[in-house]
Amino acid sequence: MATVVTVTSGKGGVGKTTTSAAVAAGLAQLGHRTVVIDFDVGLRNLDLIMGVERRVVFDFVNVISGEATLNQALIQDKRLENLSVLAASQTKDKDALTEEGVGQVLGQLAEMGFEYIVCDSPAGIERGATMALYFADHAVIVTNPEVSSVRDSDRILGILQSKSKRAKEGGKVYEHLLITRYDPARVENGEMLSKDDVCDILAVKLIGVIPESKAVLKASNTGVPVILDENSDAGLAYGDAVCRFLGEDLPMRFVTPKKQGLFSRILGGGD
Amino acid sequence: MALFGLFSGKRKTSAAAAKERLQILISHERQNRRGPDFLPDLQRDILEVVKKYVSVRDDHVSIRLDRAGDASVLELNVILPEN
Ligand SMILES: Nc1ncnc2c1ncn2[C@@H]1O[C@H](COP(=O)(O)OP(=O)(O)OP(=O)(O)O)[C@@H](O)[C@H]1O
Ligand SMILES: [Mg+2]
């Protein structure tokens, strides 16, 4: 039985694709056979973040419409043997994602022996997003500590609780909160919602706090999931989040302002 | 900023304002979600009717649907302005 993990947020640009790449790579690193699927049909970007953009021949929609087999469309990651990527189509529109078609592809991936199917949801609450969350067993809600992102996350929680397959069958989707682009110094100054504020408001279990980090842009520039950058705060924070997702109990790191020592000030800090 | 806060006593930070606004908004939106789909429209229509007679603020009219045993109770709260 494969576990479907949907990375979602409602609001755009909060870090879903960054998170999908990191979580999928993290699960694969820990030995789980994992596939990550881009549901952002028309605006694919996961391929770039994963560094496989030049290897995309067939995509998710080609598989749904029968123009290609899954084996033809799956791209095996060159760094992690347990990781594969299924790209989104750039030309088709989101109506190409039918419930039946998506369900069939997920079923086939499970049969192929994938343990985790990570779904990178597009922004919004339209077809691509609702399809990505319909089959979810687990949802990772990506939220920035900012009013509109928190509100949209709550709307997505409402949709998960009423429109997902699990909800319709009387069950529930496991919900995990991931706060990204967190700036502990601004939180300390009262300029940014704290992780506890966001948790109080949304009432979802927190699996990680990813700091605002230069490492994320560097990782996307080079097409390497940031979790593989073990010298970075964001990479380590994602690593912890994946462990918590799998049930481990770890203290939160990078949630208090960095004490800038004389040394790092002279050297200009190193993140 | 921090120092300023010390001198002016308990000045509310913008993060505290954000939290308070979100808590009010989200509890409201969750209530609407739990109710039937027509609840927001009903609330809007009731507000229009009430406004024909008294001038009330939009956020001073609230309706909610509660379940009591096998019946549903529609509760309407209108805060009327003084005088
Ligand atoms: N922790 C972080 N620190 C700094 N920048 C970040 C962080 N997380 C994400 N970003 C940046 O935010 C931008 C949006 O990230 P990303 O593409 O992952 O968001 P998204 O939610 O997938 O967006 P969309 O809704 O368009 O699909 C990117 O430029 C990314 O580099
Ligand atoms: Mg994205």
Choice from A8, A18, A47, A121 to test ligand 1 binding pocket (greatest atom count within 8 A of CB): A18
Question: Which ligand 1 atom sits nearest the alpha carbon of residue A211?
Answer: 1
* Dihedrals phi, psi of A206, to nearest 5 degrees: -85, 125
Q: pLDDT band at residue B36, thresholds of 50, 70 and 90?
A: confident
Q: 3-class DSSP state for residue B83?
A: coil
Pairing of strands A138-143, A3-8: parallel
Q: What is the Cα–Cα distance from A48 to A171, expressed in whole angstroms?
A: 35
Instruction: Please compute the mean of the pLDDT values over residues B3-29 and round it to a whole number.
Output: 80
Which residue intervals of chain A are DSSP H helices? 16-29, 46-49, 60-64, 70-73, 99-111, 127-134, 147-163, 165-168, 184-188, 195-202, 214-222, 233-245, 262-267
Whether residue A151 lies within 8 A of chain B, CB to CB, comes out as yes
pLDDT digits (tens, 9 = 90+) for B46-81: 888 988 998 888 888 887 777 777 777 888 888 888
Cα(A206)–Cα(A203) distance, rounded to whole angstroms? 9
Give the distance (Å) from ligand 2 centre to CA of residue B45. 39
Out of B15, B21, B29, closest to residue A190 by CB: B15
Residue A200 near chain B (CB below 8 Å): yes
Is the pLDDT at B7 greater than 60? The verdict is: no
Q: At what angle do helices A147-163 and B14-34 cross, to 10 degrees?
A: 20
Q: Model's pTM, two decimal places?
A: 0.86
Closest Cα in chain B to A157: B30
Q: Is A216 in the pocket of ligand 1 (CB under 6 A)?
A: yes
| Ligand 1 atom nearest to A182, measured from its CA | 1
User: Which segments in chain A show pLDDT lower than 50?
Assistant: 269-271
Give the number of residues written for chain A. 271
